[in-house]
Amino acid sequence: MSQNFEKFKNRLENQEIKKIWDNHPGVKKKFFDYFYKELLEYDSPKILEFGVRHGVSTSLFLDMCNQKNGYLYSVDVENYSNKFKSDKWKFICSEDNNFAKVESEIPKELDIIFLDTIHKAEHVSNIFYHYYKKLKIGGLFIVDDISWLFYTKGNKHDHFFKEVNNKETFKKLLEIYSNNTDKFNINFDFCESGTAKITKINNEDLNEPKKLYSRELSMKNFLRKLYIKFKN
């Protein structure tokens, strides 16, 4: 994998993006190590990316498209149309929930969707439910920023809103999955800000999320903890 990573970096023309890959090992682990090899299994993939910013994920998807004769559609509210020059890339300046605008610019079926825009649970849920139906069977829906571990108080990137939003997004994805276990598979990676990888297994319509009720604050659990405390 390290040799593949070096080859990937050597193909990058944008030096600023190359520096990010070089100077942030967590970025490599989260993006390249977690799903790049899997992406290369797709032939002539059509990819929809929400969120460009520094261009890290965009550079990865474009490299894949160049190798596998794919095409990338990137959506962002900021105009990043000059960040890359490629005949395998189309930039769409739009909000991700401007469904009419985005859908007028993308194909009817997609192999991969990547979401990295507004990291709030309800927003992620809305985007997921709307665009999921465009995925082919076997396609991937990747959601960035689902881990709150590094953002907890006193931890590496101590940040209240990122902790809360990422944790709520993680919980929302579990609520969606809990009522759709026969429709897609889901895996989580908790490196840095974390990533969820969802694989579509059939074309059935998704059910609404199912609220998960925790027994953590129940009287029964309180008594269980007291028992353990006094027993020890």
Domain boundaries defined on the chain = 2-231
Looking at the DSSP bridge assignments, the partners of residue 92 are 75
Amino acid letter, residue 137: I
pLDDT tens readout for residues 31-78:
998 888 888 899 999 999 999 999 999 999 999 999 999 999 999 999
Of 86-95, 147-156, 163-172, the poorest mean pLDDT is in 147-156
Is the separation of the CB atoms in 179 and 207 below 8 Å? yes
**Mean pLDDT of the region 205-229:** 90
- Res 225 pLDDT > 90: no
Distance between CA 136 and CA 99 in Å, rounded?
19
pLDDT at 131: 98
Higher pLDDT, 232 or 26: 26
Global model pTM greater than 0.75? yes
Tell me whether residue 64 is exposed, middle or buried, using C-beta atoms within 10 angstroms of its C-beta: 0 to 12, 13 to 18, 19 or more.
buried
SS3 68: helix
Place 1 in a pLDDT band, splitting at 50, 70 and 90. Answer: low
Distance between CA 43 and CA 22 in Å, rounded?
28
- Res 227 pLDDT > 90: no
Distance between CA 37 and CA 28 in Å, rounded?
13
Tell me which CATH homologous superfamily contains domain 2-231: Vaccinia Virus protein VP39 (3.40.50.150)
